Amino acid sequence: MLKLLKYALYDILKSRFAIIYTVFLAMVAVSIYQVSDDLSKVSLSLMNILIMIVPLISAVFATTHFYNNLEFIELMLAQPVKRSQVFLSQLFAVILMLSLSIVIGFGLPMVLWGADSSLITLLAVGVILSAVFTGFAFLASVITRDKAKAIGISLALWIYFSLVYDGFVLYLIYSFADYPLEKVTLGLVMLNPVDLGRILMLMQLDISALMGYTGAFFQQFFSSGLGVLVSAGALVLWMLWPGMLASRVFGKRDF
């Protein structure tokens, strides 16, 4: 398992994508720090970029990486190696690379210009979203043999969780504005890892008052021990189930 993981990481580094991705994130962070000295504004700007860019890049790169290494995967399956080890080594290598790029790309400017708790939360959310959408990408890759179709599924999932789902929630809130929807909205937030990461960031920025009564409810919930436990549990589930389902499908796939 460790040897397979090491080779997968070496293959990713050889493609130089990790370096380009890290430099890109660092340049974005540095440019935002140069514009504003207010750490709250920096956090908000980085959050808006991270919420949109990180899931997209994770989904596209993970899908492309799987198909580019399909011949190597098939070769390893012919060896006395468990299928789960072959699959998980590729999955963990992509997640580790994307996570390190975020930690280094955003983390180094934070060390140089300063950081608060909201920026630390930002790094955690970035790592979690990378893991979630990498899992989705690998799931899309193992259910179809067509690379273009797999990329299309990954992009569709990104569009749904980043754009379409929010529109659905806003329509629901607008349609039933006369009813107390705080708990319903909270449940809907848990069903979307992107929204959950965004809400956790907004709660760190102490701007819940701008969200009205719902914001106050969210602030009270996520500040409590139960809220932390529930949100952490939801994020862990989002990180685990796509990869676990993909591993199960991969184990039954006929190569």
Helix (H, G, I), strand (E, B) or coil at 181: coil
Q: For residues 123 and 105, give the distance between their C-alpha atoms in angstroms, rounded to a whole number.
A: 10
Examine the pLDDT at 68 and tell me if it is beyond 80.
yes
Q: For residues 164 and 146, give the distance between their C-alpha atoms in angstroms, rounded to a whole number.
A: 25
**Domain extents in the chain:** 2-252
Is residue 208 very low, low, confident or very high in pLDDT (cuts 50, 70, 90)? low
Report the pLDDT value the prediction gives residue 209, as an integer from 0 to 100: 47
Report the pLDDT value the prediction gives residue 173, as an integer from 0 to 100: 76
- Structure-block tokens of residue 116: 């608060």
Examine the pLDDT at 242 and tell me if it is beyond 70.
yes
Examine the pLDDT at 140 and tell me if it is beyond 90.
yes
The answer to pTM > 0.85 is yes
Report the pLDDT value the prediction gives residue 210, as an integer from 0 to 100: 47
Which residues are CB-neighbours of 35 under 8 A, at least 6 positions away?
45
Report the pLDDT value the prediction gives residue 132, as an integer from 0 to 100: 95
Closest CA to 138 of 53, 73, 235, 52: 73
Q: For residues 10 and 156, give the distance between their C-alpha atoms in angstroms, rounded to a whole number.
A: 30
DSSP state of 191: T
Are the C-beta atoms of 222 and 203 separated by less than 8 Å?
A: yes
Count of C-beta atoms within a 10 Å radius of residue 205: 18
- One-character DSSP codes across 111-122: HHH---HHHHHH
Q: For residues 233 and 108, give the distance between their C-alpha atoms in angstroms, rounded to a whole number.
A: 29
Is residue 163 very low, low, confident or very high in pLDDT (cuts 50, 70, 90)? confident
Closest CA to 211 of 175, 165, 170: 170
Report the pLDDT value the prediction gives residue 161, as an integer from 0 to 100: 93
Report the pLDDT value the prediction gives residue 255, as an integer from 0 to 100: 59
Report the pLDDT value the prediction gives residue 206, as an integer from 0 to 100: 61
Q: Provide the residue type at 218 as one letter.
A: F
Examine the pLDDT at 249 and tell me if it is beyond 80.
yes
Examine the pLDDT at 99 and tell me if it is beyond 60.
yes
- Structure-block tokens of residue 64: 């492309």
